[in-house]
Every structure is written in structure tokens, then in C-alpha cells.
């Protein structure tokens, strides 16, 4: 039965499919419960059999998210073949398959761009535009893929629809931007488009210290390269190397740029070393570190916010349980005992606790806001706000200790707390100074 169903998928024979399902109503369910190299929907999507695909999706839409032996979904295969109508049917059932990556780290948008299927790419971008911003496992973006596959029209479409300054200037593992790749591949039209129609950084250096001008020959007999050099110089491009490279050296460097990262197996995408012995961290490792930092900040901020909220609505020493208008205490039920007994200290406690609470909420809000928090500056801001939140909670604790300590021990406690505060402030200043120096150094390097 499964062999007959496979043949029906190859032929796109919808009637044979219906006959097989009449004989065995659970035939398609086996492809959901079991692990098969591919499903009939994969085969029909790859071959563009629209009626067959629609019949399967009407009966078992869950098959749209099944992956084959290479982690490819039916949408991956339809994108590779340029089957626009099949892709539309699959997108109606499960549009989130746009963000699923295959074994090579490519989602359907990456594949459609590499193949130059503009209509299909336009449809995918319209459904899930942010999927185009997801990097591939080689650390390259969808724009790198367009340049490598010489798909200028796809590049123009993506620059118009989803690109921005950050995406256009993204670097792969070797620090190469799409301008480095275009020059290495001698794609004159692509180079002119990037210079004239995008915000490409013409002075960006790769990990070997080469800028765009360094990859171009100074031989005036090559008119195409001469025109490109003049265009780059009009954009204030400069060379990083004082000594011009020979034609043989240029050829070797260009070949290295074109072969690097793209043909490397996934297992080799870890940390690499430069010629000077310094260890480099690839974009995936950086992304993982940022993601861990985000998760840690979210967890700590949530805990601090819960602590501050609990201390605010249930203050230390509790609240009065009755009303007293006799003139001795004059308190009201539900109000804080702490505020009545120690008004100045309670005010300090309230300010510190509220500061910590609002700082924690600010971190949570920034992390869930969708802002591009992968940059060092944003992470630095989040860390500073986190320090404010932690300091606020620490000062709230100290205020409670001062208020609840008996009078005969208060002088010793104040001395100890004073020393502790000085140590705490010193530690915070050292951390702030260290992170600020790192941020300034990173800015200067950029």
C-alpha cells in the first residue's frame, strides 16, 4: 500500500490516492506516527502536483510539518523547485514552516532566494518577513546566499522588502560582508547596486584585515575594476593595506573568500583561530551567548520583580489589624506598622523597593519588546538597569535591618552596614567601569 501511495505521489494521481484511502483509511496517519525518509506530500510538493497536494492537506494537514531525512519540509522542496501554487497551499495550512531550517541551516526563504524564484520568494516574504533575517548555519545571511548564487534580482527584492543597515552589513564567520563576496566573485552589477542603492559599509574589514578596495586590482588596464574602484572612492572607501597586492595574491584571496564558510561542514563551524593566534567566536556562538544572557536577565528580573512586589504590598512588620482613634497610636487597619514606627526609614525603604521594582519591570519590558537587543550597546544598557534593580533590593534589605535592630545594637549594625555599602558601591563602580571600557573599545574597533 505504501509503495502504491508513493507511485501515486510521483504521478500526481489523485484518483489513485482516493482509492488507496478507501482501502486503508489510516494510510496517511502512518506517515505521522512513524519515521519515514519522506512522505507522499514531500514527493508531490517537489514535483508540483497541486491537486494531489491539496487532497492530502485537506485530509491530513499535519503532514505539512513533517520533515524528511534531511530535515526538509514539503515547503522546502516546493521552494527549491519554484512551485508557487503548491507553496501557497502549504502556507495556508502552516505558515510557520517558513522559519524551519533543514540540515544545512536553510529555511524555505533561503532556498527560494538561492534558486532565484522571485514570485515564490515574494510570497514567502509577505507571509513571514522576519524569516528572511534568520542566519544560516554557516553564519551567513540570505543576502550572502543571493550574492554567492549570483541572484541579483532576489537581492534587490530582499533589500527592498526586509533589509536594513544591520542586515546589509552582516558579516559571516570570516568577517566577509556581501560586498566582499561580490568583489571576490567579480559581480559588477551587484557591486554597483550595493554601492548606489544600499547603506553598505565600504570600509568594513574581514577577519584577515581586507577591505573592499584591497580586493581590487590597481591595474588600470582592467576597465571594469577601475570603474568599481572609482565608485568606491566616491563613497570615501579606503584601503587597509599600505602595500598593494599582486594579481596572484588577489586571486588567492578572492578564492579563499568564495570557498570559506560556504563549503565547510557544520561540524567545523565552531571557534576558529586567526593567524595571530587569537581565538575567534563565530556568529552562532555569539548568538548563543546573547540568548543565554537574555534568558538569565529575564529570570533574574522576574524574581526581583516578584520580591519587590511582595515587599511592597506586604511590608515588613505587617499592617495594623484594627482601628485606633484613642489618641495613643491613632492607626488605621490595613496601613503599615513599619511606616508608623519608623517614618524616615520606611520612606527610604519604599524608594529603594520601588526603584528595584520599576527597574526589573523595565528589563522585562525591553526583553519582550522585540527590539534588536543583540547589539553590545543594548546588552550594556540592560546590565546597567539590572545593577540598579539589584542595588535597590539590597538597600531595601538594609533599611529593614536598621529599623528592626534593637537600639543597643544599632550603632554596631550601622558601622557594619556602612562598610558593606562602601564595598558594594566600589564593586558596582568597578563593574560599570569595566563594561564601559569594553563598550568604548568595541566602538573604536568598529
- Supply the angle between the helices 188-197 and 152-161 in degrees, to the nearest 10: 20
Residue-level pLDDT at 370:
61
Residue-level pLDDT at 298:
83
Whether 208 maps to a domain, the answer reads no
Whether 288 maps to a domain, the answer reads yes
Q: State which of 104, 134, 164 marks the end of a domain.
A: 134
Residue-level pLDDT at 118:
95
Name beta bridge partners: 272: 280
Asked if residue 297 lies in contact with residue 382, where contact means CB atoms within 8 angstroms, the answer is yes
**How would you class 290 by CB atoms within 10 Å of its CB: exposed for 0-12, middle for 13-18, buried for 19 or more?**
middle
- Helix H or strand E encompassing 272: strand 272-273
Whether 433 maps to a domain, the answer reads yes
pLDDT along the chain (446 residues), means of 10: 88 91 86 80 94 93 90 94 94 93 92 95 93 86 94 94 88 90 91 92 89 79 78 86 76 82 46 42 48 74 87 80 69 78 84 90 80 62 83 83 69 73 79 77 70
Whether 415 maps to a domain, the answer reads yes
73 CB contacts (<8 Å, ≥6 apart)?
A: 64, 65, 66, 67, 90, 97, 100, 102, 108
**How would you class 416 by CB atoms within 10 Å of its CB: exposed for 0-12, middle for 13-18, buried for 19 or more?**
exposed
Asked if residue 90 lies in contact with residue 97, where contact means CB atoms within 8 angstroms, the answer is yes
Distance separating alpha carbons of residues 341 and 403, to the nearest angstrom: 9
Whether 264 maps to a domain, the answer reads no
Whether 251 maps to a domain, the answer reads no
Distance separating alpha carbons of residues 67 and 373, to the nearest angstrom: 31
Whether 158 maps to a domain, the answer reads no
How many domains, the chain?
A: 2
**The domain containing residue 9 runs over which residues?**
1-134
Handedness of CA 345, 349, 355, 358 (dihedral sign): negative
Residue-level pLDDT at 246:
75
Q: State which of 117, 134, 151 marks the end of a domain.
A: 134
Whether 315 maps to a domain, the answer reads yes
In the block, cell 513599619 appears at 338
C-alpha cell belonging to residue 28: 496517511
Residue-level pLDDT at 409:
63
Chain mean position to CA 349: 39
Radius of gyration of the chain (CA): 31
Residue-level pLDDT at 400:
81
- Helix H or strand E encompassing 279: strand 279-280
Residue-level pLDDT at 271:
42
Asked if residue 435 lies in contact with residue 383, where contact means CB atoms within 8 angstroms, the answer is yes
Q: State which of 118, 134, 150 marks the end of a domain.
A: 134
At 299 the three-state DSSP class reads helix
The whole model's pTM is what? 0.59
The CATH number given to whatever domain includes residue 124 is 1.25.40.20
Residue-level pLDDT at 272:
42
Residue-level pLDDT at 215:
87
Amino acid at each position: 500500500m505504501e509503495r502504491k501511495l508513493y507511485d501515486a505521489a510521483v504521478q500526481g494521481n489523485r484518483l489513485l490516492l482516493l482509492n488507496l484511502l478507501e482501502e486503508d483509511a489510516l494510510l496517511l496517519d502512518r506517515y505521522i506516527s512513524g519515521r519515514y525518509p519522506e512522505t507522499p506530500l514531500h514527493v508531490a510538493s517537489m514535483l508540483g502536483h497541486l491537486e494531489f497536494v491539496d487532497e492530502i492537506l485537506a485530509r491530513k494537514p499535519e503532514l505539512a510539518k513533517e520533515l524528511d531525512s534531511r530535515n526538509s519540509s514539503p515547503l522546502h522542496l516546493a521552494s527549491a523547485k519554484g512551485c508557487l501554487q503548491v507553496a501557497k497551499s502549504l502556507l495556508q495550512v502552516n505558515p510557520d514552516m517558513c522559519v524551519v531550517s533543514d540540515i544545512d541551516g536553510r529555511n524555505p526563504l533561503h532556498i527560494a532566494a538561492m534558486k532565484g524564484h522571485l514570485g515564490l520568494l515574494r510570497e514567502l516574504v509577505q507571509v513571514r518577513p522576519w524569516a528572511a533575517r534568520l542566519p544560516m548555519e554557516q553564519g551567513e545571511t540570505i543576502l550572502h546566499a543571493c550574492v554567492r548564487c549570483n541572484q541579483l534580482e532576489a537581492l534587490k527584492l530582499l533589500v527592498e522588502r526586509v533589509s536594513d543597515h544591520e542586515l546589509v552589513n552582516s558579516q559571516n564567520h570570516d568577517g566577509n560582508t556581501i560586498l566582499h563576496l561580490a568583489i571576490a566573485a567579480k559581480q559588477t552589477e551587484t557591486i554597483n547596486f550595493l554601492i548606489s542603492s544600499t547603506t553598505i559599509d565600504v570600509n568594513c574589514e574581514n577577519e584577515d584585515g581586507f577591505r573592499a578596495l584591497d580586493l581590487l586590482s590597481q591595474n588600470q588596464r582592467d576597465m571594469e575594476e577601475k570603474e568599481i574602484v572609482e565608485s568606491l572612492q566616491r563613497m570615501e572607501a579606503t584601503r587597509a593595506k599600505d602595500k598593494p597586492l599582486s594579481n596572484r595574491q588577489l586571486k588567492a584571496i578572492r578564492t579563499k573568500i568564495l570557498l570559506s564558510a560556504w563549503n565547510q561542514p557544520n561540524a567545523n563551524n565552531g571557534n576558529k583561530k586567526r593567524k595571530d593566534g587569537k581565538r575567534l567566536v563565530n556568529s552562532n556562538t555569539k548568538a548563543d551567548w546573547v540568548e543565554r544572557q537574555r534568558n538569565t536577565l529575564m529570570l533574574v528580573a522576574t524574581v526581583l520583580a516578584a520580591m519587590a512586589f511582595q515587599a511592597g504590598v506586604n511590608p515588613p512588620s505587617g499592617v495594623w489589624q484594627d482601628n485606633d482613634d484613642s489618641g495613643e497610636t491613632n492607626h488605621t487597619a490595613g496601613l503599615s506598622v513599619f511606616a508608623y514606627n519608623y517614618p524616615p526609614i520606611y520612606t527610604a525603604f519604599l524608594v529603594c523597593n520601588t526603584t528595584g521594582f520599576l527597574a526589573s519591570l523595565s528589563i522585562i519590558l525591553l526583553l519582550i519588546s522585540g527590539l534588536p537587543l543583540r547589539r553590545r550597546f543594548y546588552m550594556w544598557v540592560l546590565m546597567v538597569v539590572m545593577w540598579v534593580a539589584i542595588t535597590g533590593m539590597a538597600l531595601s534589605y538594609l533599611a529593614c535591618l536598621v529599623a528592626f535592630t534593637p537600639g543597643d545594637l544599632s550603632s554596631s549594625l550601622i558601622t557594619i552596614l556602612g562598610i558593606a555599602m562602601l564595598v558594594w558601591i566600589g564593586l558596582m563602580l568597578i563593574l560599570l567601569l569595566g563594561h564601559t571600557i569594553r563598550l568604548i573599545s568595541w566602538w573604536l574597533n568598529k
